[in-house]
Structure 1
């Protein structure tokens, strides 16, 4: 059974997507480092080259890779009215959070995102409203809203991934520290990988979800033991 979505031209959909991904959008993403603060504190990420490698690994086989897949799966599920797949994807996404801090991060940001995105009201199926009332992971919430609001999955994944990359770079700029220009050089260098990820995610299925990022997972687990912490994860 399908569900209705808002019909918008591409320009209007992109404007809406840009609004959701704006640094001013009140979901608090600036407060999280996703384990990168630990890696910097322990001396494993000390310069722009190592920061680029850290983020590239997340795109290739880490949490950003799986989040992109989850986002696209959620968007397709909402567009087609496949509530079973949406629920299964959300449960798996929450289960894959590697630390209590990351679990809290994705749940709290999802809640904040859904509250803020309600500024763009639309008719929402009862099944989706019920899903939104339960704990949800951020990429699932983002993908679900993208599907409901007529934002293409490819644009949604590309924008979301680019935003996460930019946030990780901002952590490095602040903590390593790096200059703003050095951070932008990293962002520019990762454009092709972000684009490739957005293309791969279009056909992703739940059985394709996997990751291999022990270093970042351990960094996330060790973050709560740091003596001095600026970020929440």
Structure 2
């Protein structure tokens, strides 16, 4: 497989929209990634705090961890280097601070592998059983298969994450639909810069610094009443 560096073509763009659709049957809607616990702890009480929480993770976690790792995973799959892909995917798991967040990665990775096998994406089947499987690795595999440029893939990934976080806030805070759209509108403008910053991160600088997320995730593991699995 060859990784594109130019803008994606129209069909590839539509494939990318499918891969980042909220309707994708991988169960991502079941996870809040710590947001539900942040609400329970009183850190998020309305749209202002929700925007600050999501925006902070976008800047300090997604752009420092997911984006650079996506670029490396795509490069590894483009040159058919499975060992490197496993290593980068394993690093993502190692940098997830809690058992709950690691379990989320593996569960979504399993669902992604099953979906890509069903869609006929070569190389997806072996990932369903690999200990290093992550949703990010399977997403990278699919984007390379469909000839999607790395910058386009990263931008779409962050958009899908932002939309999922806003949806979780809609249910957990709860926020009104208009308030959620205002949050999305404000934070979407930060995505291009987050992608540019993330693609410039050196290997030795990959890693996130979000202690509040780790605390929220740990607390969520023991939370009595939960809507989400993380």
- TM-score, normalization: structure 2? 0.90
Alignment of 1:167-182 (within 5 A): 167-182=164-179
For the Cα contact (< 8 Å) 1:14–1:151, is it kept in 2?
yes
Instruction: Label 1:132 to 1:149 Cα distance change in 2 as closer, same or farther (>3 A).
Output: farther
Aligned to 1:89: 88
1:102 to 1:5, Cα distance in 2 relative to 1, 3 A: same
Distance between the aligned counterparts of 2:137 and 2:28, measured in 1? 16
1:23 aligns with 2:19: no
Report the Cα offset of residue 120 of structure 1.
3.2
Cα distance, 1:68 vs. partner?
2.1
What secondary structure, in the 3-state scheme, does the structure 1 residue paired with 2:57 have?
helix
Residue by residue, what CA displacement relative to the aligned partner does 1:96-135 show, whole Å, maximum 9, x if unpaired?
Answer: 11111111111111111121123432454xxx76455413
Unaligned runs of 5+ in 2: none
Structure 1: segments with no counterpart, 5+ residues: none
The match for 1:196 is 193
Task: Quote the offset at 1:35 in angstroms.
Answer: 0.8
Quick one: distance in 2 between partners of 1:5 and 1:153?
A: 8
CA apart distance, 1:156 = 1.1
Please give the secondary structure, in 1, of the residue aligned with 2:189.
helix
Q: Following the alignment from structure 2 to structure 1, what is the Cα–Cα distance between the partners of residues 63 and 136?
A: 10
8 A contact 1:75–1:147 mirrored in 2: yes
1:223/1:9 CA distance change after superposition, 3 Å? closer
Q: Helix, strand or coil for the counterpart of 1:44? A: coil
**Partners of 1:74 and 1:86 within 8 A in 2:** yes
Q: Label 1:207 to 1:84 Cα distance change in 2 as closer, same or farther (>3 A).
A: farther
Alignment check: 8 A CA contact 1:58 1:65 kept: no
Partners of 1:73 and 1:205 within 8 A in 2: no
Residue pairs, 1:99-178, within 5 angstroms: 99-124=98-123, 130-131=126-127, 133-135=129-131, 136-178=133-175
Give the superposed CA RMSD: 2.2
